[in-house]
């Protein structure tokens, strides 16, 4: 595939118009804690599917000519992108298949089925191969890549537009890093509109491929430890994303599972907001002070957390 470039601003503006009325314009609110920094939450967990993925999936599908969707669409996703593609496919009246890893939480699988998505469950390594190769044998439909599709990144970039409208002097944006499509979409907008704003990838120490890649200077595969934090932490940085992510992002900030658990509890107690593990990663980092001071926006990327897991966290325990 062609080398990926920063998303041009006109593409993001067009995406905003395209998905208007489908994806919500989410609020930006202060985190109700006393810290040296001013911490804000960009509440993408309030989207109709509970995550930001509705934006990129919607833009990618709505750009397709209707005839091109006659055989349907499919994606590879642990849950949130699957819901984004399934939600948009249902509204377009086309079939949707989703290749999911066998580690995907039941909460997200149930949501995919409610939205009309047909689930194909495979071992994690086989699922990851679909992410890398952009193909699943036997499916003759339009593939929407969850990360490195420029139209998906343009849809994600609309979050950056909204952040700047609500907080024009933002100093830092913290973004959960799953594959880089969200962070690079937002960073493309910041580079064009407010280049002094830093955009950091947020990772968990049990699976931090971008931090490892930055250390080695190339896309790197890691030994990944499975946790309940399923929305971030792949096996590697995708080769096609490495040049773009290393160019656009100011670095990777890595936190622990324990701090993410604490952040989920803090967000729930102080702002009455439910965040999934990936969605709380940015907040966990902001609360430690590792992102510095000033005005910090934490992208709460999703809130699709298993209720049993959430109950465990709210009791003060760490999910197994």
Last residue of a domain, one of 108, 143, 178: 143
Rounded average pLDDT per 10-residue block, the chain, 320 residues: 88 98 97 93 97 97 87 90 95 94 86 94 92 91 94 98 98 97 98 98 97 96 92 90 97 98 97 97 97 97 94 94
Same domain, yes or no, for 46 and 58? no
Domain that holds residue 107: 54-143
Burial 310-319 (b: 16+ CB within 10 A, else e): bebbeeeeeb
Decide if 186 contacts 217 (C-beta within 8 A). no
**Cβ burial, residue 205 (10 Å; 0-12/13-18/19+):** middle
- End-to-end CA distance of the chain, in Å? 39
Same domain, yes or no, for 157 and 41? yes
pLDDT at 104: 83
pLDDT at 231: 87
Q: How many domains does the chain have?
A: 2
pLDDT at 106: 85
pLDDT at 1: 58
Same domain, yes or no, for 96 and 174? no
Helix residue ranges per DSSP H, the chain: 9-19, 53-62, 80-92, 106-114, 124-133, 150-166, 181-193, 209-216, 242-248, 257-271, 277-288, 307-314
Q: Which residues pair with 298 in a beta bridge?
A: 41, 174
Alpha-carbon separation of residue 109 from 74, 105, 290 (angstroms): 15, 7, 34
Decide if 2 is inside a domain. no
Same domain, yes or no, for 174 and 279? yes
Last residue of a domain, one of 77, 112, 143: 143
Same domain, yes or no, for 211 and 66? no
Taking the C-alpha atoms of residue 159 and residue 156, their distance in angstroms, rounded to an integer, is 6
Same domain, yes or no, for 108 and 235? no
pLDDT at 148: 94
Q: What are phi and psi of 243, to 5 degrees?
A: -60, -40
| Close Cβ partners of 66 (under 8 Å, ≥ 6 residues apart) | 92
Decide if 320 is inside a domain. no
pLDDT at 288: 95
| CA atoms 164, 151, 77, 255: torsion sign | negative
How many beta carbons lie within 10 A of that of residue 217, not counting itself?
Answer: 9
Same domain, yes or no, for 44 and 59? no
Decide if 1 is inside a domain. no
């Amino acid at each position: 595939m062609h080398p990926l470039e920063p998303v041009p601003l006109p593409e993001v503006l067009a995406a905003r118009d395209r998905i208007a009325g489908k994806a919500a314009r989410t609020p930006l609110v202060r985190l109700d804690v006393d810290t040296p920094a001013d911490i804000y939450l960009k509440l993408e967990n309030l989207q109709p599917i509970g995550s930001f993925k509705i934006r990129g999936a919607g833009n990618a599908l709505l750009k397709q000519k209707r005839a091109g969707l006659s055989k349907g669409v499919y994606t590879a996703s642990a849950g949130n992108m699957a819901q984004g593609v399934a939600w948009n496919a249902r509204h377009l009246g086309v079939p949707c298949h989703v290749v999911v890893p066998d580690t995907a939480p039941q909460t997200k699988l149930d949501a995919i089925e409610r939205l009309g998505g047909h689930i194909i469950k495979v071992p994690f390594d086989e699922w990851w191969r679909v992410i890398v190769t952009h193909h699943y044998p036997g499916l003759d439909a339009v593939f929407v890549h969850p990360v490195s599709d420029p139209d998906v990144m343009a849809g994600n970039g609309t979050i950056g537009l909204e952040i700047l409208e609500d907080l024009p002097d933002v100093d830092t944006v913290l973004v959960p890093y799953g594959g880089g499509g969200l962070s690079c979409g937002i960073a493309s907008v910041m580079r064009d509109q407010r280049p002094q704003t830093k955009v950091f990838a947020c990772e968990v120490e049990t699976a931090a491929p971008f931090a490892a890649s930055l250390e080695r200077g190339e896309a790197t595969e890691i030994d990944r430890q499975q946790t309940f934090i399923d929305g971030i932490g792949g096996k590697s940085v995708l080769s096609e994303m490495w040049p773009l992510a290393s160019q656009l992002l100011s670095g990777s900030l890595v936190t622990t599972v324990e701090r993410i658990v604490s952040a989920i509890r803090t967000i729930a107690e102080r702002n009455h907001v439910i965040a999934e593990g990936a969605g709380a990663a940015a907040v966990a980092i902001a609360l430690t002070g590792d992102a510095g001071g000033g005005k910090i926006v934490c992208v709460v990327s999703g809130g699709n957390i298993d209720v049993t897991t959430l109950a465990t966290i709210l009791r003060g325990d760490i999910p197994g």
